[in-house]
């Protein structure tokens, strides 16, 4: 198993989880993955909502006071 640059807290959590039975490890991993996917979905929704709000406010138009992302 290979881990890259994890915090001490995450390393400790993984160490504790590794002591559990395989079925419990899988349940925890499934929950973590579901939480991470949900976080990604919320990030995408908020980014889209922000883009719409900026568009409606004219903030993403050329010359509106900040560069337009291309």
Amino acid 45: pLDDT? 78
Give the C-alpha separation, 50 to 56, whole Å. 10
Amino acid 9: pLDDT? 94
Amino acid 33: pLDDT? 95
**Model confidence over 32-66: pLDDT tens digits?**
999 999 998 888 878 777 877 877 777 776 665 55
Q: What is the mean pLDDT of the chain?
A: 84
Amino acid 27: pLDDT? 97
pLDDT at 16 over 90: yes
Report field, pTM of the whole predicted structure over 0.75: no
């Amino acid at each position: 198993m290979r881990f890259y640059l994890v915090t001490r807290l995450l390393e400790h959590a993984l160490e504790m989880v590794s002591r559990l039975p395989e079925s419990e490890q899988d349940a925890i991993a499934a929950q973590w993955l579901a939480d991470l996917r949900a976080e990604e979905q919320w990030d995408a929704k908020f980014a889209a909502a922000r883009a719409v709000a900026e568009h409606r406010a004219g903030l993403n138009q050329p010359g509106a006071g900040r560069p337009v992302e291309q």
